[in-house]
Amino acid sequence: MKRWIALLLALILLLSGAGLAEEKASVPSDMLRQMTTEQKIAQLLMPAFYYRQNEQGEKVGVQEIYPEMEAVLKEYGFGGVIFNLQNSRENEKALRLVDAVQKASGSVAGRPQLITCTDQEGGYVTRLGRGTMTPGSMALGAVNDPAVTEAVARLIGEEVVAIGYSGSFGPVMDVNNNPSNPIIGIRSFSDDPETVTVHGTAFIHGLHEAGSLSALKHFPGHGDTDTDSHTGLPVVVKSYEQLKDFELVPFQAGIDAGADMVMTAHIVYPLIEKGTYISKETGEEIGLPATFSKTILTDILRGDMGFSGLIVADAMNMDAIARHFDVLDAAKLAIEAGVDLILRPVDPFTPDDMAALEQYVRDVAALADEGKISMEAVDAAVLRVLSFKEQHGMLAPYDSGDLEDRIRKAVSVVGSAEHHEQEFEIAKKAVTLLKNENILPLNLPEDKAAVLVPFDSQVMSAEYAVSRLKEEGKIPAETEIPVYSIPSLPAGDLVKVCQENRRIFAVHTAYSAAGMDPAQKAGSSSVLMDTILTLAHAAGNSVIVISAQLPYDAARFPSADALAVCFGARGMSEDPREVGNGVSQYGPNLPAALYLLLGGGEISGTLPVNLPAMDSACKFTDEILYPRGTGIRLSPPEKPAE
């Protein structure tokens, strides 16, 4: 009897639990059943409102909601909105804008909130105009401390959430194993899958600790390409097995770590996806990119890898898609492949563009109603979006709360002096010394030194480093270290600088392999660096070359007397000590590098990538000149006893 009673109780509990689960699951399902097809399609879209046309016909950044924008949000709501630098130049305006957008979108009773995101990866790709840039992913790979990476992501998450965004499209899980990659580069943690895994998962944890959503990108991997999907359609000839052994390793770890979203790559994998399309530009048959591949997104990502969050298509206005695919065909292919949110389907700039966005919703809905787009696929994607919103509290009515208090917090947190000091300390840990022929540390002021930078915006970065050293007593106050912008220097003055200074710190920035090739226009800066080295050496002086963007150019200058890498070239337009909180976003990497190279502290970074040697034509070879893990530790000069 006791056994039967126990079984009966267990059955009652099981049935009651199932009933509760069914009741809970019915909220998104009920919403889906009540939606029109146009409302369903709108939930699958994440448009951008970066620019608008003002009354004078000028293109201006959108910093506040305007009538046409408000009207389309009220009409359709959308699944989300992506924000960019144009929307977030000022902290208060950025918060007021996202608040107004949520209110407009939620003006119809029962409509879910928007998912609001921005590309705040840290480093090279950051969108908060008055926020903290942080050193960037490859710099974090050079620090190689997951706790530091987690702290940086937590900082980023705090600022994103303070503005009112749901989250950030990051981390980048691409393994940058192709030095000719024109778009990922320092956005990647490393060319090693395990390193990317360790830091990528730490980044996810940091974002989540701050209450920010996370998104892995760019699935199934954008690291091994030599084409930028913003300007072309890359092709990666790798099998599924090869991807599983390399590119997919960090993505699987990120999924297991609880990543909320995955962003697709507009890259063709012909050994995996066999579907084709006739390019509208060339009339030739092309392969379907991962964004349109059901095999990659549904079978592999959801089936094999177990991802249950949202799949976000990278921006549809990128040339990889826009040049080759009809806009409605692209919508059909994305939805039927398993995409949940279509990013930037139509960019509304002019009133005609806004009308085109509305027409897009109607046209895609009509294709679904006519059976030309699978309604089953539409419903499945909408249900995933609504279930995701339920999970994250976005089905509840939007509430501004105490908006003025939120603004005060945003102004005090986003780009705070504390955050900037934190990023500077981390940027110092990333500085990596690859070569030192008894040049460093300097003996100042006897070692007469000068700094040459390739951009005017970097002058203040260098001067900031020098002035901090003096303020902190790290170098003698009487030390003169002039900083020159190379483009602003007459040729004769450049010759004098190279001849009259014993130690020349010359900054080089390469954004692509072309920037290292003297035969290409982009490589003119490397030719100029060759000239600086020749002039200085002829006068018996030494040159410390600082690779400030892609680290691969360090192999381009074998005659340098010392070589350092800092993984970020962004300058500054305002002195943060004068402005305080809310200073314009600036790069900490270059001032941190100069601070250490001039004697401010220990240099301890190590290369997170292999640097290949270059041949006489400045092309990469198979020889590894500086292996991953290379880094010369250097202590600052000892102060003389007082």
Positions marked active-site: 230, 314
The residues that bridge with 562 in the sheet, in sequence order, are: 436, 544
Which three-class secondary structure state does DSSP give residue 413? Answer: helix
Burial of 100 (0-12, 13-18, 19+ CB in 10 A): middle
Q: Which helix (H) or strand (E) holds 261?
A: strand 261-264
111, two tokens: 């409509």
**For residues 305 and 255, is the Cβ–Cβ distance under 8 A?**
yes
Is-contact 193 175, C-beta < 8 A? yes
Instruction: Look at strands 115-118 and 432-436 and give their pairing.
Output: unpaired
Output the 3-class SS for 605-616. Answer: CCCCCCEEEECC
Closest by alpha carbon to 392, among 311, 310, 303? 310
Question: d(Cα 550, Cα 566) in Å, to the nearest integer?
Answer: 9
Q: How many residues does the chain have?
A: 642
- CA gap 423, 132 in Å, rounded: 8
DSSP H or E stretch at residue 51:
strand 51-53
> Could you give the CA distance from residue 538 to residue 552 in angstroms, rounded to a whole number?
26
What is the C-alpha separation between 517 and 523, in angstroms, rounded?
5
What's the CA angle centered on 344, arms 410 and 391, to 5 degrees?
Answer: 60
DSSP class of residue 302?
I
Q: Cα–Cα distance between 229 and 343 in angstroms, integer? A: 15
Tokens linked to 84: 């960019």
Q: Which two tokens stand for residue 124?
A: 């090279």
What are the respective helix, strand and coil percentages of the chain, to the nearest 5?
45, 15, 40
Pairing of strands 611-614, 620-626: antiparallel
d(CA 373, CA 598): 62
Which residues are CB-contacts of 608 (< 8 A; sequence separation ≥ 6)? 138, 141, 142, 144, 189, 190, 191, 192, 195, 628
